[in-house]
Each structure stands twice: as C-alpha cells, then as structure tokens.
Amino acid sequence: EAGVAQSPRYKIIEKRQSVAFWCNPISGHATLYWYQQILGQGPKLLIQFQNNGVVDDSQLPKDRFSAERLKGVDSTLKIQPAKLEDSAVYLCASSAQLLGKFNYGYTFGSGTRLTVV
C-alpha cells in the first residue's frame, strides 16, 4: 500500500512570501489532516477534511493559511504571507476515520520542513 505523499520535502522562503504544500493521501481514506509540528513539540492540528468538506478548521490561522481538498483526494495547504513563526514541519495525515467512528490510527506523510527567514 502506498503511503501518504507530500511535496516539497524542504522549503526556504523569506517572510511575507507565499508557499504551498501538496498532499496525496492513502487511497480510500476519507479523512485528511494537516498538522503543524514546531521543533520539540507534538503535532498540532490545523485543519481536518472528510472527503472534500472541511470538518474542523478552528485552529487554522485563516488570515494567512488556507487549504482545500478538491475531489476528496489531493489537498493543498497555502500560507500567504509567511511569518517567521511559521517555520515548522507541516505534516499531512490520512485515516479511514469517519465522523462518529474514531477507531482508526493515522498515517502520516514525511512532511515539508518550512524555514522562513
């Protein structure tokens, strides 16, 4: 079974620039997540999709972050404009989990390491 694919692997940008990350989840997984992991901390949920609908974006800084999941498969996370504090690893994960049925683990991609200078 293919894993969760993410690109790019690394990205260095200057503050106030924009950046986009791409994720392709495991085939058949309805739920897709974007997490932010700051060095030395656990992953923090940014947004959760079920199929192509947003389930939870309460922790997404909507003034600068946006995400979409077209056709319920691939997803893109964008930051515009970036700030220094956005430097982190951005992890995409997918799961067979559905609303009301939280019995499944998550499969994470390798992440994109973003450095904002």
Partner 1 sequence: QQPVQSPQAVILREGEDAVINCSSSKALYSVHWYRQKHGEAPVFLMILLKGGEQKGHEKISASFNEKKQQSSLYLTASQLSYSGTYFCGTVGRGSTLGRLYFGRGTQLTVWP
Positions in the binding site for partner 1 (CB under 8 A): 4, 40-45, 48, 55-56, 91, 97, 99-100, 102-111
Residue 43 one-letter amino acid: P
Smallest gap from Cβ 104 to partner 1, in A, equals 7
Q: Which is nearer to partner 1, 74 or 81 (CB)?
A: 74
For the CB of residue 95, give the shortest distance to partner 1 in the complex, in Å.
9
CA nearest to 95, candidates 8, 4, 5, 7: 4
For partner 1, the closer of residues 16 and 44 by Cβ is 44
Is the Cβ–Cβ distance between 109 and 93 less than 8 Å?
A: yes
Give me the least distance between CB of 48 and partner 1, in Å please: 7
- Let me know if 92 is exposed, middle or buried by CB neighbors in 10 A (0-12, 13-18, 19+): buried
